[in-house]
Amino acid sequence: MKRYLYILCTVSLVFSCTPQDGLIDVVEIGAGEKNVELGCMPGEYTMEVYADGEWSASITGGDWLLFKDGSSPGISGNGDSRLVIGYQMNRGKDRAAEVVLSRGSRTCTVSIVQEGIISSGLYFENANMLVGADGGQASAKLMTRLAEDEMEMDVRYDGAQGWISNIVKENNFLIFDVLANNTSLMRSAVVTVRSSEDPAIEDELHINQEGNSMVFTDVDFSLLKGLSSSSVLIEENLVLTGRVINDDLQGNGGEDVNISSTLKDSGRSSRVIYLQDDSAMDGVLVEFETAEDNTTSRFDRIRLLLSGLTLTCKGGDSEEPLRYELTGATAANVLESESGSISDLPVKKRRISELTDDDVYTYVTLTDCEIPIRKGPFVPVDLRYTDAMNKYPMPLRDRDGATTYLMSNLDCSWARDGRGMPQGSGEVSGVIVHEKCDNFEWDNAEATRLLATGMTLDYITGIGTISRYQIRPVTREEIAIAEDFEDGFSGMIAEYRYFNRNYDNIVKNVDEDYTMYPTWPTVPSPTDDTSLKSRFIRWKDGHQEMFLTWRDWSHLGPVENGVVTDPSGGNGVYDYYGRSAHWSVHSATASSGLIYDTNGPAWYCTQWTPEQYWLVTFSTEDITAANFPLSVNFGAENGLGETVGAPRHWVLEYSLDNTVWTEVTEYTVPDFTVIFQKRSWQCPGYKYFSFNLPEDPAILGKEAVYVRLRPDGSNAGSTGSYDGNAVVPACHSSIDYFSIRYVK
């Protein structure tokens, strides 16, 4: 597969320099990298800007660079920011430009060098081409500085041999002769060109030649989708033209799927492309037989031969969107390709509530979004049990209170890269998908139906519907959310994240271990500050009960080759006052990403009944109707990995007097993965939720409002069944995060 270059700048603070007027100017302006190298293909570069106030940026020496958020050569901002810079294809030699950052009299200059097509590397401008049955001379554009005597060339045929000959390089083209095809069948070959001195520098040209009586019929997306309402093998030489909107360079190009409760297909993301029409109003999923068959690159416009592919129609009911998938593709099905860039994609912005079935498998930007969980990495799971899970759905909500999920493969490059998740708000771009997540939800009725057909429980997968639509960013850069919480649309009424390691009398609180104090808002002395009106307790048998502390998987990483590096630093875990390095990873499980300490970053209790619940009290004295919706965000799991039996079904309720309760929603809590009896409904980490409270005016202006998380009856799972069993008294259910947010 052709590979394009995506650059992610490192985060190492660089301070500039000397004030221009020679005077001392105590301001901060810097960039993550002072020297940036870009590939020759078009793309975008995200620059980390560090500043303690207002700043400006300008480009000098390069009209091939353009600020994404402005057409002029200058742009401005305030505070630490991300500056997105687009760059054009460089069809010539290497070129350079500078981005100058200014704050007051200080400047910081970032040098940007872009490799040219005429370079020491080589690749074909378009990886796939179609030649006519009559044969003759053909050519393909080859970008390289290498002379012909510095290259090696060979041809690999699929079927008929020897119909390509006299391959030579002339200027920027590879020229060759093609014999006439006197058969009625299409034939295919691959020409490989590589450097004689460095065989790693190579690229492939995939050539298809028409049969002498072949007739191709172009179809559009609507006509394609009209071919079947279920599943059909396409036998005609139909050709679909569309734009490829994904790749797998960062490991999140497509969904990896579980085959069973312990086996997964981790290579599927490299075999899947999403193809949309020129207007971005229609899309399909195309799955190749192998990763090697997928010869496309992101933003290619391709002509796809549909003969031999199976078209499957899925969904279209109350739970699943109507969507279409093509399977069985090989390299020969890609008749032709034409390289492109992200600028070739139509701008398609949506609010979450505006998504429709027509958006599935197209590229969309969701606006005014936030990730309402302020802790941990994108994939906060125990890395020892990732064979039982293939992706993680992180809640994503917008200013209107609509929610969906941001999908990250467990092994994508930014799942656990040490940076964590951004905490403000912004836009998220990616492919709109519908993916199941058995680890979060389980359709027990469907599982029972499949068991009756003879399918074994271990191989029942893909039945857990979490939402109608989700978004799958292809790169980390497409999650364009501000890093800082203050740069978002949400305010915080109360938040419980981590215990305060510095004050044991607060960790084991003033009322005999029965109450947690919030980590937001922060005050100098939580035990003495009367402004704190939020508390988190466990309620049992008409009184508060002590809860114990346990573990979670919030360690940010980074992960290298499946192992968390530097597990002793407490990376990404903060105390009450925002200071880091107060928590450690248990040395016995350094590879798991587990945070474990005597005071623990999560909290659990046992002995659950509908009369025993988590209870949070908070104030809405300063909240008005303009601050709706209020959201409740939390993470929960059952069990310790050895036992199961905590309540499966729960309900979220609120009250104005702690007596009369109104139900908000029902939800389910997964069991932690049992080591030797893994089930598809088990989750090796916390499941995160985001729910809106009703926009009830009676909630406003209250000194105390109550929210509780309560088991909905005595109903638990076992290692052999999802639910339907009695709750095990000794089995715990835990929470590792809880917050109440409002719209500022």
Q: Which pLDDT tens digit goes with each residue over 563-595? A: 666 555 444 444 444 444 434 455 445 567 777
Best CA proximity match to 408, nearest among 444, 437, 447: 437
Q: pLDDT at position 628, please?
A: 98
pLDDT category of residue 26 using cuts at 50, 70 and 90? low
* 480, 502: one domain: no
What is the structure's pLDDT at 349? 97
Is residue 323 domain-resident? Answer: no
Of the ranges 56-65, 207-216, 255-264, which one carries the lowest mean pLDDT score?
Answer: 56-65
User: What's residue 602's pLDDT?
Assistant: 82
User: Measured between alpha carbons, how far is 415 from 28 in angstroms, rounded to an integer?
Assistant: 31
pLDDT above 60 for 177? yes
Confidence of residue 514 (pLDDT cuts 50, 70, 90): confident
Give 22 or 515, the one with higher predicted confidence.
Answer: 515
Q: Please report, for the domain that includes residue 153, its CATH number.
A: 2.60.40.10
Q: What is the pLDDT of residue 19?
A: 41
How many structural domains does the chain have? 4
**Residue-level pLDDT at 194:** 94
Q: Considering the domain boundaries, does residue 324 fall inside one?
A: no
> Same domain, yes or no, for 450 and 545?
no
pLDDT of residue 527: 67
In a domain, 426, yes or no: yes
Least confident of 146-150, 177-181, 357-361: 146-150
Using a pLDDT cut of 90, give the percent of the chain over it. Answer: 62
Task: Kindly report the three-state secondary structure assignment for every residue of 16-72.
Answer: CCCCCCCCCCCCCEEECCCEEEECCCCEEEEEEEEECCEEEEEEECCCCEEECCCCC
Q: H/E element holding 174?
A: strand 173-178
> In this predicted structure, what is the pLDDT of residue 503?
46
Q: Which of 485, 507, 526 is the last residue of a domain?
A: 485
Q: Domain check: are 394 and 357 in the same one?
A: yes
Which residue, among 86, 49, 52, 51, has the nearest Cα to 69 in the 3D structure? 86
Residues 6+ apart with CB under 8 A from 200: none
Range of the domain at 91: 14-114
Within this chain, do residues 557 and 699 fall inside the same structural domain, yes or no? yes
Mean pLDDT for 152-173 is 94
CA-CA distance, 95 to 61, in Å (whole number)? 9
Per-residue pLDDT at 678: 92
Structure tokens that stand for 709 in this block: 């998380």
Closest CA to 33 of 87, 116, 112, 88: 112
pLDDT at 122: 87
Residue 276 lies in a domain: no
56 and 100 part of one domain: yes
How many H-runs (helices) and E-runs (strands) does the chain carry? Answer: 3, 51
What pLDDT sits at residue 86? 86
Which is higher by pLDDT, 678 or 23? 678
Q: Are residues 460 and 588 in the same domain?
A: no
Q: Is the pLDDT of residue 401 over 90?
A: yes
Q: Is the pLDDT of residue 507 over 80?
A: no
Q: Band of the pLDDT at 541, cuts 50, 70, 90?
A: confident
pLDDT digits (tens, 9 = 90+) for 454-487: 999 999 999 999 999 999 999 999 999 999 999 9
Q: Where are the alpha helices (DSSP H) in 469-524?
A: 504-507
Mean pLDDT over the full length of the chain: 87
Is residue 339 in a domain?
A: no
Global pTM value: 0.84
CA separation for the pair 521, 630 (Å, rounded): 17
Helix (H, G, I), strand (E, B) or coil at 451: helix
Are 396 and 530 contained in the same domain? no
Report the pLDDT averaged over residues 665-691: 94
Q: What share of the chain is helix, strand, coil (3-state, %, to 5)?
A: 10, 40, 50
pLDDT attached to residue 588: 47
pLDDT at 585: 52
- For residue 488, what pLDDT is reported? 97
Among 343-357, 540-554, 592-606, 631-645, which stretch is predicted with the lowest mean pLDDT?
592-606
Give per-residue pLDDT as tens, 187-206.
999 999 999 988 888 999 99
Would you state the pLDDT for residue 533?
84
Predicted confidence at residue 553, as pLDDT, reads: 83
Taken in order 479, 480, 483, 486, the sign of the CA dihedral is: negative
In this structure, are 481 and 493 located in the same domain?
no
Domain end (from 436, 451, 485): 485
In this predicted model, what pLDDT tens digit does every residue of 283-320 receive, in sequence order?
Answer: 999 999 999 999 999 999 999 999 999 999 999 999 99
Give the pLDDT of residue 575: 44
Is the CB of residue 16 less than 8 Å from the CB of residue 107?
A: yes
250 in any annotated domain: no
- Residue written as token pair 């409904």: 681
Q: Could you tell me if 629 and 495 lie in one domain? A: yes
User: How confident is the model at residue 136, as a pLDDT?
Assistant: 97
pLDDT at 642 over 80: no
Q: Could you tell me the pLDDT band of residue 7, with boundaries at 50, 70 and 90?
A: very low
C-alpha to C-alpha distance for 115 and 112, rounded to whole angstroms: 10
Quote the distance between the C-alpha of residue 129 and its chain's center. Answer: 33
3-class SS of residue 637 = strand
476 and 525 share one domain: no
| pLDDT over threshold 50, residue 14 | no
Q: Is residue 685, in this structure, part of any structural domain at all? A: yes
Q: Looking at residues 226-252, what average pLDDT do you find?
A: 96
SS3 291: coil
Task: Name every residue whose Cβ is closer than 8 Å to that of residue 180 and which is 6 or more positions away in sequence.
Answer: 133, 134, 135, 212
Element (H, E) at 327: strand 323-329
Q: Please state the separation of Cα 44 from the chain's center in Å.
A: 18
84 and 70 in a common domain = yes
Instruction: Considering only residues 643 and 693, tell me which one the structure prediction assigns the higher pLDDT.
Output: 693
pLDDT bucket at 657, cuts 50 / 70 / 90: very high
pLDDT at 677 over 60: yes
Cβ atoms of residues 391 and 269 within 8 Å: no
Could you tell me which residue, 724 or 145, shows the higher pLDDT?
Answer: 724
Residue 506 clears pLDDT 60, i.e. is over it: no
pLDDT attached to residue 513? 60
Residues 730, 600 share a domain: yes
Q: Which of 89-98, 474-483, 497-506, 727-736 has the lowest mean pLDDT?
A: 497-506
Task: Count the Cβ atoms, other than its own, within 10 Å of residue 199.
Answer: 9
Last residue of some domain: 75, 91, 114? Answer: 114
Domain for residue 253, yes or no? Answer: no
